[in-house]
């Protein structure tokens, strides 16, 4: 079964509020969250607000070159939560899946947030949450949320 809903973000404050709600109302501690959308849609921006809502402080940079950045946040019970933020835009060597330890990260506990998941197909396990972001003409965003 999957649940769909569609929402508007007029600005980044709306994105931030959405991130807080998603974190407060779902157990993400073992989830894969896939973020879809064109270049510049707002995937990394949403990731920053998700990480902040999970208690990550400090600089959160886009993993476009490193492919993954890892963080420690905390879950609803206050326990440490491993979070990995992937951007597979430049991923093109399947051997790197093993060599860089990506397989291990997906096999372990923790939250995985993934941009450009289609570039890691078919290595990537299926996501539990798929959030698609579309930029509209006035620069607001339409987001659709699918809970798989
Ligand atoms: N809800 C929003 N309202 C207005 N501007 C936004 C919103 N979300 C993101 N932006 C702006 O859009 C720009 C691109 O955002 P971001 O880097 O998050 O995109 P992305 O989807 O991660 O792109 P890429 O595919 O290149 O990684 C940034 O300047 C950001 O501030
Ligand atoms: Mg990005």
In SS3 terms, 37-69 reads as CCCCCCHHHHHHHHHHHCCCCCCCCCCCCCCEE
- Ligand 1 atom closest to Cα of 41? 21
pLDDT at 64: 85
What are 7-64's pLDDT values in tens digits? 999 999 999 999 999 999 999 999 999 999 999 999 999 999 999 999 999 999 999 8
Write out the two tokens for 94: 């399947």
Residues whose CB is less than 8 angstroms from the CB of residue 42 and which lie 6 or more positions away in sequence, other chains included? 9, 12, 15, 133, 135, 141
65 Cα: distance to centroid of ligand 2 (angstroms): 11
Write out the two tokens for 3: 């649940």
C-beta of 13 in contact with ligand 1 (< 6 A): no
Q: Is 0.95 surpassed by the pTM of this model?
A: yes
C-beta of 137 in contact with ligand 1 (< 6 A): no
Q: Which of 44, 67, 69 to mutate to test the pocket of ligand 1 (most atoms within 8 A of CB)?
A: 44
Which residues sit with Cβ closer than 5 angstroms to ligand 2, an ion? 43-44, 62, 115
């Amino acid at each position: 079964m999957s649940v769909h809903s569609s929402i508007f973000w007029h600005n980044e404050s709306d994105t931030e509020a959405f991130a807080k709600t998603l974190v407060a109302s779902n157990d993400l501690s073992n989830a894969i969250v896939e973020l879809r959308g064109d270049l510049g849609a707002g995937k990394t921006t949403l990731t920053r607000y998700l990480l902040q809502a999970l208690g990550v402080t400090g600089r959160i940079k886009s993993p476009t070159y490193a492919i993954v950045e890892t963080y420690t946040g905390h879950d609803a019970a206050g326990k440490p939560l491993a979070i990995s933020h992937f951007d597979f835009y430049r991923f093109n060597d399947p051997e790197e899946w093993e060599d860089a330890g990506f397989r291990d990260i997906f096999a372990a506990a923790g939250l995985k947030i993934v941009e450009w998941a289609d570039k890691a197909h078919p290595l990537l396990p299926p996501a539990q949450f798929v959030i698609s972001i579309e930029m509209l003409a006035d620069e607001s965003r339409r987001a659709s949320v699918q809970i798989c």
